[in-house]
């Protein structure tokens, strides 16, 4: 059986961007994680050890978002790699990073990247 787990809207204040000001001032970000897995055993037995712990997902995202990068594409790849490496039972994974109010000379609500690692 296939199941999906979503951890959505992980809010972070981080210092990513190509402009020097972005490294000093920072900005608001939201990260969404989607994981394809099989949590049948956890659903039947009500045991956390048989599924993906949301706390671990959040921790990885927060730790990687705290490391400055010029590109959110780079941060997204780091998050994807760590989740796949550190958490078991993930068959496919999506990482979406949204940068709110980006400094791009326009009235833009957000920009985002999506990385999909599918089976």
Q: Tell me, what's the pLDDT at 24?
A: 94
| Beta strand pairing call for 27-37 and 92-100 | antiparallel
Would you place residue 118 in the very low, low, confident or very high pLDDT band (cuts 50, 70, 90)?
Answer: confident
pLDDT tens for 97-107 read 999 999 888 89
**Class of residue 37 by CB neighbours under 10 A (exposed 0-12, middle 13-18, buried 19+):** buried
Split into its structural domains, the chain has a count of 1
Q: What radius of gyration, in Å, describes the C-alpha atoms of the chain?
A: 16
Of 2, 70, 84, 99, catalytic: 99
Based on the residue annotation, tell me whether 4 is a catalytic residue of this protein: no
| DSSP state letter for 95 | E
Q: Is the pLDDT of residue 18 over 80?
A: yes
pLDDT tens for 20-72 read 999 999 999 999 999 999 999 999 999 999 999 999 999 999 999 999 999 99
Give percent of the chain with pLDDT exceeding 90. Answer: 94
Of 103, 119, 5, which Cα lies nearest the Cα of 55? 5
Q: Note down the domain range covering 9.
A: 3-117
Q: Tell me, what's the pLDDT at 119?
A: 63
Q: Tell me, what's the pLDDT at 36?
A: 98
User: How far is CA 29 from its chain centroid?
Assistant: 10
Q: Report the C-alpha gap between 119 and 116 in whole angstroms.
A: 10
Would you place residue 86 in the very low, low, confident or very high pLDDT band (cuts 50, 70, 90)?
Answer: very high
Q: Are 98 and 114 in contact (CB under 8 A)?
A: no
The CATH number assigned to the domain holding 62 equals 3.30.1130.10
């Amino acid at each position: 059986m296939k199941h999906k787990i979503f951890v959505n809207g992980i809010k972070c204040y981080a210092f990513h961007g190509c402009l020097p000001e972005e490294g000093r001032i920072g900005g608001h970000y939201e990260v969404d994680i989607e994981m394809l897995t099989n949590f049948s055993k956890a659903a039947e037995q009500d045991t956390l050890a048989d599924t993906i712990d949301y706390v671990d997902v959040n921790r990885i995202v927060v730790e990687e978002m705290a490391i400055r990068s010029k590109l959110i594409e780079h941060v997204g790849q780091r998050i994807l790699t760590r989740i796949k490496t550190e958490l078991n039972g993930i068959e496919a994974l999506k990482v979406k990073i949204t940068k709110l109010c980006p400094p791009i000379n326009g009235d833009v609500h957000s920009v985002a990247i999506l990385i999909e690692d599918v089976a």
